[in-house]
Amino acid sequence: MKLLRYGEPGRERPGMLDAAGRIRDLGGVVEDIAGDVLTAAGLARLRALDAESLPQAAGRPRHGAAVGRVGKFICVGLNYSDHAAETGAAVPEQPILFMKATSAICGPDDDVVLPRGSVKSDWEVELGVVIGDLARDVPVERALEHVAGYLVVNDLSEREFQLEHGGQWVKGKSCDTFGPIGPWLVTRDEVPDPQDLAMSLAVNGYRYQDGNTRTMVFGVAELVSYISRYMSLHPGDIISTGTPPGVGLGQKPPVYLKPGDVMELQIAGLGRQRQRVVACP
């Protein structure tokens, strides 16, 4: 299944795509694409529906963030060895974890607003993992059983805030609109191998990132197991699993986002995003 949320910001409705790619409204079935709806039992209930019998959304509505009421937005740093090399960092021996504020989350095609004083805002296409059933200290071999599905994440980063303002990376990762997710959540059964997904990102038509999840240092199952050792993972929590090489920081000289730029990113089977960059009002 492909599940989504559509409509105006703050008033999104739950939906699913039918076989023809049309949005079907789930408002009469569930309140949101969130929480227990994402558990194995919740997804089984949606899978049993006849999509053709559901109301069709009118027109071409805005896509909101594909998951609502996200409790934790956990990111993994330097999880591609070639990305670590381009930033001059060593390949980590254990996953590097940091949090991204959930207030950064926005729709996949919403404008990205540069924060006040930003001069080093950067892009990062990433595979997002959405938790389904509660995961608490789960073994690697059973970790994927706790995954509801996958989606595209643009883990935007203000590098000056992240690296030059002291403290942890979270300051450079959490600006409003710095977490586009979607366009939809693709359930786990439709992604046979999360470690073989091509991914790319272009700015103004120039492709900077062109990678594949097979080059992750720590795969999805390892990450879910590892993180669940340190904190419980609840339905709707998102893990953003790291980015391949080609970020703006790694260019020579570095290239950063400016008002008017357009980012286009995609992951095979998970959909596309497109964001216009605008100045802080």
Q: How far is the CA of 182 from the CAs of 87, 129, 162, 220, 240, in angstroms?
A: 27, 11, 24, 18, 12
CA distance 63 to 106: 9
Mean pLDDT of the chain: 96
Query: Based on the domain organization, do 21 and 159 belong to the same domain?
Result: no
Residue 188's nearest CA partner among 159, 147, 219, 158 is 147
Residue 233 and residue 135 in contact, taking contact as beta carbons nearer than 8 Å: yes
> Which pLDDT value is given to residue 167?
84
Whether 254 and 117 map to the same domain: the answer is yes
Same domain, residue pair 49 and 125: no
Whether residues 106 and 159 fall in one domain: yes
Same-domain check for residues 263 and 180: yes
Q: Is residue 141 in some structural domain? A: yes
Encode 166-194 in three state secondary structure.
Answer: CCCCHHHHCCCCCEEECCCEEEHHHCCCC
**Is 200 contained in some domain?**
yes
Do 19 and 121 fall within a single domain? no
- Residue 130 located in a structural domain: yes
Give yes or no: residues 98 and 191 share one domain: yes
Question: Which range of residues forms the domain containing residue 252?
Answer: 73-278
Residue 221 forms part of a structural domain: yes
11 part of a folded domain:
yes
Is residue 258 included in any domain, yes or no?
yes
Any domain includes 154? yes
Residues 187 and 117 in one domain: yes
Q: Is there a contact between 133 and 146 (Cβ–Cβ < 8 Å)?
A: yes
- CATH number of the structural domain spanning residue 203: 3.90.850.10
Distances from the Cα of 103 to the Cα of 63, 107, 179, angstroms: 17, 12, 8
Q: Is residue 151 part of a domain?
A: yes
Q: Which helix (H) or strand (E) holds 117?
A: none
pLDDT at residue number 83: 82
Q: For 61-83, how does the pLDDT look when each residue is reduced to its tens digit (9 = 90+)?
A: 999 999 999 999 999 999 998 88
Integer Cα distance of 38 and 224 in angstroms: 16
Residues 163 and 99 in one domain: yes
Query: ∠269-270-271 over CA atoms, to 5°?
Result: 100
Residues sharing a CB contact under 8 Å with residue 104, sequence separation 6 or more, in sequence order: 73, 156, 173, 174, 175, 176, 177, 178, 179
Backbone angles phi, psi at 230, to 5 degrees: -100, -20
**What confidence tier does 87 reach under pLDDT thresholds 50, 70, 90?**
confident
Band the pLDDT of 91: cuts 50, 70, 90.
confident
Q: Into how many domains does the chain fold?
A: 2
Whether residues 114 and 189 share a domain: the answer is yes
